[in-house]
Structure 1
Amino acid sequence: MSDDLGDFHAIIPAGGIGSRLWPLSRADAPKFLHDLTGAGTSLLRATWDRLAPIAGDQRIMVVTGRAHRAAVESQLPGLADRNVVLESEPKDSTAAVGLAAAILHRREPDVVIGSFAADHVIGDTRGFQRSVREAVIAARAGYITTIGITPTEPAIGFGYMRAGERIVVDGAANVHEVREFVEKPDLATAQRYVEDGSYLWNAGMFIARADKLLEEIGRSEPELLAGLEQLADAWDTPARGAVVDQVWPSLKKIAIDYTVAEPAAAAGRMAVVPGDFDWDDVGDFASLAKLQSGGRPHNLAVLGDNARILADSSSGIVVSHSNRLISLIGVEDIVVVDTPDALLVTTSQNAQRVKGVVDALKISGRDDVL
């Protein structure tokens, strides 16, 4: 680990089921536990491998659900037991990141924390690490800092942020103010953002001094902060279990974008380091198809160790986790996901609608396939 990041502690929130990747991603096997790149390693493990050289194995904390503890620890043998934070139920990113920050702040008052999702794909590890280093320097200066991704296309599946003037911070030449965060746009708006040149994709990476992050949560959600502080006070004591059972269910479920990023940007306390490295959140099967095919639109991507596929004049993606032979003839941009108990057939254009299937299954009580 580099000496200049000795105060840095990485946090990996590993939650959510990735409902737009159903039936591949399930409640008991969410997308971060899968190898979606064909690299032979899960997205979670790849995230760990990016962070370990700049944080060190003993300075990475994983926040995940109780049901996933065994799988997470199996994939991450270097994860210290004291750095496993288990959620009894999902409460979104403010609770996950805020609790980790509060625990680490008690252990190390001057710690700089960085939160990085467990299920993203990043091609340029060195570029990512350079951006993290600059973000840590900006965080030490008191900014809530994020890493924004330079858009490569007018994507409508991502949130955006507008970068402003450069902020002078010794040792970091690529830090800018964040003027505003904006929600996922329509195609015309996204095209305007890309042409403007000052908009970046919001990749959900947040780096800050733990005390500053907690202050920001307290400004917008004081009751939520009080609950997180109560949990952190008990975390490294024998009272942890009882306090978690009492406090965790009462925590407000809200994303960190709303409690920290947006209000900090409005108040001039938010900074961004533009990142030029390849990044994808693999949010649906359309993005997975693009990732697997290398961006070549007329290719058929196949995922699955023992996939049996016959294809003629077809494109899209097939994910096969069964022994069935799958034959495709003359279909374009097809999405086929075949598992032992569920089959999905759609198109890349409709990939975002898969979440609606999951919602319908929940309403109908079909938890056996979720």
Structure 2
Amino acid sequence: MSFKIVPVVMCGGAGTRLWPVSRDTMPKQFIPLLGQESTFQRTMRLLSDASIFGQAIVVTNVEYRFTVLDQLQAIGLAAQIVLEPVRRDSAAAVATATELALARDEHAIVGVFAADHVVQDGELFVETCRQAGVVAAQGRIVTIGIPPSSPATGYGYIRPGAEIGDVARQIAAFVEKPDAARAAQYLLDGYLWNSGNFIFDAMTMRAELEAFEPGIAAPVADAVTKAKRDLDFLLLDKASFEGVKKISIDYAVMERTQKAAVISGHFGWSDVGGWPAVWDLSEKNPDGNAIEGRGYVLDGANNLIRSEEALVAVIGLDDIVVISTRDAILVTRKAVADKVKDMVALITAKGESEAGAHREVQRPWGRYLSIDLGVRHQVKRITVKPGGVLSLQKHFHRAEHWVVVRGTAEVTRNDETIIVHENESIYLPIGCVHRLTNPGKIPLELIEVQVGSYLGEDDIIRIEDIYARA
């Protein structure tokens, strides 16, 4: 293969099927569901084979930009990180990647992959991508179809058509998610699951987008042309991108083009679409129980138990899921776990903040965890990564006390610069201009006690910020 595939990873979505671990503020692609690395990190490692792939493009949104950067740095990889100013579904993301790839090479071959899928045989996955790339170079848009392991009703299906060479086939039809009886028949008839991952000739994709959806192609091209650098990111032009039609690439192109092909992927694939899928992929004890954290099962089998902090004890139950986070607990039978999204909708309608937000909040400089919240006080545990710098800021309604429990803090307080060591504290009165920096080589951890009449995050007046949030 004389060319390299430009891998594009889409990770702007925020799924609810894995609530309460996955939420809007930290969705499933950034969470270590299986092992120590997130599915995003696992995907990026798969796409780092320099013999097949070129430099990756990651398409995400402004809210997740620092999470993407941090997770790439943690595994020693780099990518071109592209920020969508508003969410516009997968067709816009594919069009964006197409334009960026063509700016590199007018003969570019592009592979588009989801950040929240899991592949079990990485070598076979890479080889499948190579084979798909060869077919795509003939002016094709190649989807990777997965041979079904069961008559699943949660996936779209592909009906393969005539053969194209040795490994690919034409796509006779795309089929929406079927009922159980129809899914069973599809299994017998040799249909494939639609994985949503595909590889294509960039000029072909551009031409098809221009033909079928000019309302996507033109404004995306304009948004890319007018894009601006923002620290380590490429920010698409908001005015242009807001005009892009919101539609999936399946509806926009794949179900309409005559240039689609499918190649079978036998590498062990899962979209990790719910807690039963996590159980399927997890290591289990002899009773079939998959346990992470402080979980215990007595007289029960085939359960998934996951606990961040609390001790979870289960007695005499089979085939259930118990997920315990710092601020929410989910208990469900695996058979009805697909209703988790309905539960999230219910608690969202009731105004429960836990539906979409975690108590631990990620920031570009580190993170903070709200430990206690009262009428006039709040206690946080703040962690600042080495070299992390909080914004120069002030508050109109609260004072703060900082106690360093690990590492060393460099604190700016009005005109002073003060070094605060472990087991030392500093007081920041209302209205003072202050900044916190970690000048050390290890994470800085401190306890912050806020006292005041209003404790909201919007009482942060940023004066200066290295992360361009001021």
Give the TM-score of the pair, scaled to structure 2.
0.71
Greater alpha carbon shift after TM alignment, 309-318 vs 158-167? 309-318
What is the rounded CA distance, in whole Å, between the counterparts of 1:37 and 1:242 in structure 2?
Answer: 31
Give the letter aligned to residue 281 of structure 1.
D
Matched, 1:46 2:42: yes
Aligned residue runs from structure 1 range 78-89, under 5 A: 78-80=76-78, 83-89=80-86
Alignment-derived partner of residue 440 in structure 2: none
Q: Identify which of 299, 316, 324 aligns with 2:288.
A: 299
CA contact (8 A) 2:164 2:170 kept: yes
Q: Do the aligned partners of 2:348 and 2:355 also contact (CA within 8 Å) in 1?
A: no
Please give the secondary structure, in 2, of the residue aligned with 1:103: helix
Contact 1:310–1:325 under 8 Å retained in 2: no
Instruction: Name the residue aligned to 2:442.
Output: none
Residue 315 (str. 1) matches residue 308 (str. 2): no
Does the C-alpha gap of structure 1 residues 182 and 55 become closer, same or farther in structure 2, counting only changes over 3 Å?
A: farther
Moved over 6 A (4+): 240-243
| Alignment of 1:195 onto 2:188 | yes
1:351 is aligned with what amino acid? A
Q: Is residue 2:270 matched to residue 1:280?
A: yes
Aligned pair count? 352
Q: Report what 2:155 is aligned to.
A: 158
* Residue 20 of structure 2: aligned partner: 23
Q: Which residue does the alignment assign to 2:102?
A: 105
- Go from structure 1 to structure 2 and tell me whether the alpha carbon gap of 1:223 and 1:55 turns closer, same or farther (over 3 Å shift): farther
Q: Output the CA distance in 2 between the equivalents of 1:211 and 1:46.
A: 29
Which structure shows the higher helix fraction? Answer: 1
Inter-CA distance 175–236: structure 2 relative to 1 (3 Å threshold): farther
Cα distance change, pair 234–79 in 1 and its aligned pair in 2 (3 A): farther
Q: How many angstroms apart in 1 are the aligned matches of 2:116 and 2:135?
A: 25
Output aligned runs, 1:1-370, within 5 Å: 4=1, 6-38=3-35, 40-54=36-50, 59-77=55-73, 78-80=76-78, 83-168=80-165, 173-197=166-190, 199-235=191-227, 244-264=237-257, 267=258, 269-293=259-283, 299-303=288-292, 306-322=293-309, 324-370=310-356
Instruction: Check conservation: 1:57, 1:79, Cα contact below 8 A.
Output: no
Partner secondary structure for residue 76 of structure 1 = helix
Alpha-carbon deviation of 1:56? 7.0
More strand by share: 2
SS of residue matched to 2:14: coil
Quote the offset at 1:318 in angstroms.
1.3
Cα shift readout 1:106-131 (whole Å, capped 9, x = no counterpart):
23211110001011111111111111
Q: Which runs of 5+ in 1 are unaligned?
A: none
Match of 2:425 in 1: none
Provide the secondary structure at the position in 1 that maps to 2:193.
Answer: strand
- Displacement of 1:9 after TM fit? 0.4
Cα 1:142/1:157, change in 2 over 3 Å: same
Q: Sequence identity of aligned pairs in percent?
A: 36
Answer with 1 or 2: which has the greater Rg: 2
Distance 1:154-1:54 versus aligned 2 partners, 3 A rule: farther
Q: 1:189 to 1:347 in 2, by over 3 A?
A: same
Describe the SS at the equivalent of 2:103. helix
Distance 1:133 1:247, change over 3 A: same
Question: Is the deviation greater in 209-218 or in 274-283?
Answer: 209-218
**What RMSD over aligned residues (CA atoms) do the two structures have, in Å?**
2.3
Shift of 1:222: 1.1
For residue 312 of structure 2, give the secondary structure of its aligned residue in structure 1: strand
Contact 2:84/2:235 (<8 A) preserved: no
Name the CA distance, whole Å, in 1 between partners of 2:124 and 2:219: 37
| Residues 242/193 of structure 1: CA separation in 2 closer, same or farther (3 Å cut) | closer
TM-score (structure 1 length as normaliser): 0.89
